[in-house]
């Protein structure tokens, strides 16, 4: 049995950054095998936006590996903590959401995680189950288990404190609440990104205080977002949601820096390192163009969530639009009231907003100033520009924003 346990640990710890500790994981796996029970593997996500993104997929892939060995995933939707905002790995407080926003986002999570996880081996919990009913006395008793010095030891708090950036007292409570989640679900193991290590260790301390065996903490690499620098984050807007349309997902993936292709291959797709190294070498030696390699990577990822046919269609459209400078096959039709015209013309800034291609006049102006707006075949460079818009005219904003205008 020991050889089999060692094999499992080697497999489960592959691509992990921290494992606290291998000896404890071995002990838990051996005991679970002897007692013929499944370990409880905890993973949490705050529903700060309706999409689960590729950064989450890194953890979900590892959770599925645990499930394939017969263990149970306890997926905690942080509907309570989402109203606080977790600063982990961030330089500023994440804006808390209302209960209504949290509930709306949380409803989409369960369907999305089951595109990777096995529903039969997944227990979905909401941390409002135990947090919402806590009294102030309960919070004080919980807080007594962690010192201010421990909290300030976190890198993100240290940086913000040194830079005189505000830190809300309620943020200090976030690691406590996450750790308390581990107590309430009696977690054997908790997974998270490297920025979550402190919170996972707090969970171990609280479990000891409550008479439970401490959870094994396993952290995974953070997947960089579309900017190639910061971690993929819904709050930062540099993410690829797994529920996004195939064409949108493909277009975003084609924008990642070339240097990140290997990271996405390894962490999102889990391809063998030998294959990843061979693909990288082909690009470096000039045997293959980086665009071809990235197209293949994007198709593999899109196919995982939308199927091979949709991935191929997205690839073909991307080539048609961005390489051959042709229009997409499908362009949303937008109806604009004819009353918006002045002297037979429409102000392009206002038109972009009305067509849903810009969120505000300011955003529309920036798109024009960046040279990213076309009306028909004309590139617009003047933010004051007004044009006569024929019915059926196609306008473009940015690389992926198109609308066909109909006046009524």
Average pLDDT value for residue range 152-180? 80
Among the ranges 169-178, 185-194, 331-340, which has the highest mean pLDDT value?
Answer: 185-194
pLDDT band, very low/low/confident/very high, at 164 (cuts 50, 70, 90): confident
pLDDT tens-digit readout, 94-111? 566 777 777 777 778 878
| Model pLDDT, residue 95 | 61
| Model pLDDT, residue 212 | 96
pLDDT tens-digit readout, 373-393? 888 888 898 889 988 888 888
Kindly state the tokens that stand for 88: 């982990």
Q: Residues 2-220: name the CATH superfamily.
A: HUPs (3.40.50.620)
Tell me the C-alpha distance between 253 and 295, whole Å.
9
| Model pLDDT, residue 89 | 46
pLDDT at 92 over 50: no
pLDDT band, very low/low/confident/very high, at 84 (cuts 50, 70, 90): low
Indicate the average pLDDT of the chain.
87
By CB atoms closer than 10 A (0-12, 13-18, 19+), residue 314 is buried
Domain ranges of the chain: 2-220, 246-323, 333-407
pLDDT at 225 over 80: yes
Kindly state the tokens that stand for 198: 């402190």
Average pLDDT value for residue range 61-71? 96
SS3 content of the chain, % helix, strand, coil (to 5): 50, 15, 35
Question: What length is written for the chain?
Answer: 408
pLDDT at 63 over 90: yes
Q: Residues 333-407: name the CATH superfamily.
A: RNA-binding S4 domain (3.10.290.10)
Give, for 74, the enclosing helix (H) or strand (E). Answer: strand 72-77
| Model pLDDT, residue 91 | 46
pLDDT tens-digit readout, 40-49? 999 998 777 6
| Model pLDDT, residue 67 | 97
Average pLDDT value for residue range 203-219? 95
| Model pLDDT, residue 149 | 78
pLDDT at 192 over 50: yes
Tell me the C-alpha distance between 316 and 310, whole Å.
10
Could you tell me how many helices (H) and strands (E) the chain has, helices first?
17, 13
- Stated pTM of the model: 0.77
Average pLDDT value for residue range 235-260? 90
Peptide bond just before 136 cis, omega within 30 deg:
no
pLDDT at 264 over 80: yes
| Model pLDDT, residue 62 | 96
Distances (CA, A) of 208 to 102, 202, 205: 31, 10, 5
Partners of 241 in the β-ladder:
53
Question: Percent of the chain scored above 70 by pLDDT?
Answer: 95
pLDDT band, very low/low/confident/very high, at 158 (cuts 50, 70, 90): confident
Which one-letter DSSP state was computed for residue 52? -
Average pLDDT value for residue range 70-81? 90
pLDDT at 282 over 70: yes
Average pLDDT value for residue range 173-189? 93
**Whose CA is closest to 97, among 133, 169, 47, 132?**
47
pLDDT band, very low/low/confident/very high, at 83 (cuts 50, 70, 90): low
Calculate the dihedral angle through the C-alpha atoms of 230, 107, 119, 213, rounding to the nearest 10 degrees.
70
């Amino acid at each position: 049995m020991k050889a089999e346990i060692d094999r499992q640990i080697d497999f489960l710890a592959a691509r992990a950054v921290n494992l606290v500790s291998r000896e404890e994981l071995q002990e838990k796996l051996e005991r679970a095998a002897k007692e013929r029970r499944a370990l409880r593997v905890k993973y949490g996500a705050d529903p700060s936006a309706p999409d689960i993104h590729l950064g989450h997929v890194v953890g979900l892939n590892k959770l599925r590996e645990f499930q394939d060995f017969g263990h149970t995933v306890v997926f905690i939707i942080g509907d309570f903590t989402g109203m606080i905002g977790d600063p982990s790995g961030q330089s500023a407080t994440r804006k808390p959401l209302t209960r209504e926003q949290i509930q709306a986002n949380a409803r989409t999570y369960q369907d999305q995680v089951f595109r990777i996880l096995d529903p039969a081996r997944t227990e979905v919990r909401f941390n409002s189950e135990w947090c919402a009913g806590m009294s102030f006395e309960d919070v004080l008793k919980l807080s007594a288990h962690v010192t201010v010095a421990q909290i300030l030891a976190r890198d993100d708090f240290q940086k913000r404190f040194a830079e005189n950036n505000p830190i809300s007292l309620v943020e200090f409570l976030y690691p406590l609440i996450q750790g308390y989640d581990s107590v309430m679900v009696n977690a054997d193991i908790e997974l998270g990104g490297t920025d979550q290590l402190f919170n996972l260790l707090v969970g171990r301390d609280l479990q000891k205080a409550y008479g439970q065996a401490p959870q094994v903490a396993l952290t995974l690499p953070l997947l960089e977002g579309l900017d190639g620098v910061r971690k993929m984050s819904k709050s930062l807007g540099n993410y690829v949601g797994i529920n996004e349309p195939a064409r949108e997902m493909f277009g975003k993936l084609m924008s990642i820096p070339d240097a990140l292709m290997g990271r996405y291959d390894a962490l999102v797709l889990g391809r063998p390192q030998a294959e990843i190294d061979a693909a990288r070498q082909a690009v470096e030696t000039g045997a293959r163009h980086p665009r071809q390699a990235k197209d293949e990577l994007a198709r593999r990822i899109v196919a995982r969530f939308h199927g091979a046919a949709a991935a191929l269609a997205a690839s073909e459209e991307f080539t048609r639009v961005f390489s051959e400078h042709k229009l997409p096959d499908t362009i949303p039709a937008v109806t604009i009231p004819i009353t918006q015209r002045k002297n037979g013309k429409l102000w392009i800034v206002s038109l972009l907003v009305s067509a849903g291609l810009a969120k505000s006049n300011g955003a529309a102006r920036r798109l024009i100033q960046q040279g990213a707006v076309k009306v028909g075949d004309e590139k617009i460079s003047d933010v004051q520009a007004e044009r006569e818009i024929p019915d059926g005219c196609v306008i473009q904003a940015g690389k992926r924003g198109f609308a066909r205008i109909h006046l009524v």
